[in-house]
Structure 1
């Protein structure tokens, strides 16, 4: 025993049984509570947690906005499509316009060439007529000189008065028949038939019927056979106007003082008297 134990103030207070019991009860309650809480926590950890999200309610105003947005989108798509169609139409129109312009230029060029060709032919015909007129004037002067000197002459002065009127036969008849059949056809510079001719084209085609291939131009045709005088012509002879080798016109004598020739655009292929346009000379091929 402590030497101070007999002093009351130095003695440790004794715990009463009630205090001990109360403390034990509190401790037990705390432990029980912890046990329940742990069990509850374990159970809650084992169960899945489900979270529910609430979507916003589609109100009337929101629905109207959605519909309006859809209309705007549809209108924009329609506008884009319309613009695309307009662009395509414009491209097609531009392409067609370019093609039309090219065609117009082509036609204009063709018209220009035709006009130039027509002008060239007209100029050639005028030159030919002028040359014939000059030749006739020269021949007329020669005839007057011959007549004044009392010479009977054997050229143009007697042409049409003493020419042969015998009927054509054989190849000559075929040539005469051909040129007579073309009377009334058109005169076209450079024409070789079958419905339009120039002078040398008609003569060449006539002799081709009997197997004779004459040169194409009048200058060469005027020297293609034997030269004969105009007072002894026979049907089928080739008449020429101008000099031999430089003739500017030819025709075919058909008898009875007549000839057939592709004269000019005004008369076409015509049957004429030698006095209408007295020739300068003649050649015989048959």
Structure 2
């Protein structure tokens, strides 16, 4: 990578870390950037996943006040996240590269749609508050497991999906659920990263740049993200997602 490309990847990592803390779709920034600097799709996805791990945990740390009292919930649901991430990461490594290049544009499109509809989704979740359950039951665990599979395979807008599932099944404040979402996303990313480090071939320069950027962005996003207009986040994410889809389909 040229110095300018390295700067672009680092900046994408900062943006992704901040977006993941608040919205949960940072891969729609970093993954297209890695494609743009010349990485093939699967190495780009593997490197992106590993690089976003530090940002996942700095964003979770930024929500530590909202996480108080949630340890039993996180232990129970975290098992589903880890199991799902192992399955999703395994699918990424065992399915042919052509399958990834075919599936990912659809997943990016789904991520863009979820980012756009998230405000209405949150309003809908608040309207259903009276129907929520104390512990979520097996359906919540199954949903978290499915999100883990999705996150281990690709993961764009994984956080949006997680927040929706948590909001449907749990009777709790949305900011506390967002903190739980950050922890569960961190478990998915970390589990998949360990798998990828063991058996895949990441681009370590890209990993380092995304990791440094996401670490800064994750912490700042958790601290300052609520002060940035959400609409600006969504416009940027959707534009980058559309560019990524075009890039993958015309490559």
* Structure of greater relative contact order (alpha carbons < 8 Å, 6+ residues apart): 2
Structure 2 length normalisation: TM-score? Answer: 0.24
* Structure with greater proportional strand content: 1
Structure 1 length normalisation: TM-score? Answer: 0.22
* Structure with greater proportional helix content: 2
